[in-house]
Amino acid sequence: MTAQAIPGFRDHSAQVNGQSIAYSRGGDGPPVLLLHGFPQTRAMWRGVAPLLARDFTVIAADLRGYGASSKPAGVEAISFRAMAADQAALMWHLGFSRYHVVGHDRGARTAHRLALDAGDGLLSLTLMDIVPTHLLLDQLTQGVAKDYYHWFFLAQPAPFPETLIGHDPDLFFERCLMGWGKATLDQFDADALAQFRAAWRDPDTIHAMCNDYRAAIAVDFDHDAADLGRRVGVPALVLYGADGPMARRYDVGATWGDRLARMRAQAIPGGHFFPDQSPGETAAALAGFLMKPGL
């Protein structure tokens, strides 16, 4: 029997924005949308979502191109703008006109784009372990290029990265999980890891994830350049791994100072994948903010 994406949650799929978006739902209270990053699925929230569900209605969704969601063709189809439109449509479909959004990694970049494109629907914005996409690419340093080499490898023309990754997907993606700050495989929930492996062994998922990174350079950079100077007005929380590459290379909170009008920042024990490594601390930081985001 296939394990639930998140223990105690019900798994669903919705047809929205021309896509099939897989999601899990649990809890009761103000709505919170959780968005995963690369190379994971919504199963990354297995340790966090049940704790939040004590006080909130929690929706954890797979981004288009990832997990059990649809995988449209083309680079522009995997832009953060397209991903964000899916998630806004999903929450509207579920009857939530206003909600909190929480994103990690690519999910955080999607959440930021959602705040820019459909911010009237948000109660708050939480970004986990990212600096702004435009800043990272426009002011690239040697250290960041070394840590985040995958941005440029995955963005190479198809089928070059797909072919190399497809030779041994577990080797490549598990190296990603362990390579960004103090993580070992035993720190990831075993059922979640099994679900990640099942997803990233699919050639269509590999191709879509490569298109995600191609879009960051070819599409998302220009979208973000057009929005330089805009500040998201809703209350915002920036969380980052205390031992992760972003914390080594940046003052993470400061990178968001000219983009988020009402922001607080906090380090969480662990590396880039601190929600997997420190789910209790992550859930506590989220709950404290979501209960009183305006303070």
Q: Tens of pLDDT along 147-201?
A: 999 999 999 999 999 999 999 999 999 999 998 767 899 999 999 999 999 999 9
Q: What is the pLDDT of residue 294?
A: 76
- Is the pLDDT reported for residue 118 higher than 70? yes
Instruction: Look at the alpha carbons of 14, 80, 204, 60 in this order and tell me if their dihedral is positive or negative.
Output: negative
CA max distance for the chain: 50
With 0-12 / 13-18 / 19 or more C-beta atoms within 10 angstroms meaning exposed / middle / buried, residue 6 is buried
* pLDDT 10s digits, 16-26: 999 999 999 99
Percent of the chain with pLDDT over 90: 95
What is the average per-residue pLDDT within 88-93? 98
- Gap between the Cα atoms of 39 and 106, Å rounded: 9
Q: Within 13 A of 41's CA, how many CA atoms are on the CB side?
A: 29
Structure-token match 């969704």, residue found: 61
Q: Measuring CA to CA, which residue among 112, 107, 100 is closest to residue 44? A: 107
Alpha-helix runs per DSSP H in the chain? 49-52, 80-93, 106-118, 133-138, 142-147, 150-154, 160-167, 169-179, 190-200, 203-215, 221-226, 245-249, 252-255, 274-277, 279-291
- Is the pLDDT reported for residue 124 higher than 80? yes
The structure's pTM equals 0.98
- Is the pLDDT reported for residue 228 higher than 50? yes
Residue of 129, 220, 272, 276 with catalytic role: 272
Helices 203-215 and 160-167: crossing angle, nearest 10°? Answer: 140
- Is the pLDDT reported for residue 136 higher than 90? yes
Q: How confident is the model at residue 1 (pLDDT cuts 50, 70, 90)?
A: very low
Residue of 62, 86, 105, 189 with catalytic role: 105
- Is the pLDDT reported for residue 205 higher than 60? yes
- Is the pLDDT reported for residue 51 higher than 80? yes
Find out whether 115 and 98 touch, Cβ atoms under 8 Å: no
Q: What share of the chain is helix, strand, coil (3-state, %, to 5)?
A: 50, 20, 35
What is the average per-residue pLDDT within 104-123? 97
Find out whether 35 and 24 touch, Cβ atoms under 8 Å: no
Q: How confident is the model at residue 293 (pLDDT cuts 50, 70, 90)?
A: confident
Residue 100 known to be catalytic: no
- Gap between the Cα atoms of 274 and 187, Å rounded: 10
The CATH class of 10-291 is alpha beta
Structure-token pair, residue 39: 């190379």
Per the prediction, the chain carries an average pLDDT of 96
What is the average per-residue pLDDT within 107-131? 97
Residue 272 known to be catalytic: yes
- Is the pLDDT reported for residue 50 higher than 70? yes
Rg (CA), the chain: 17
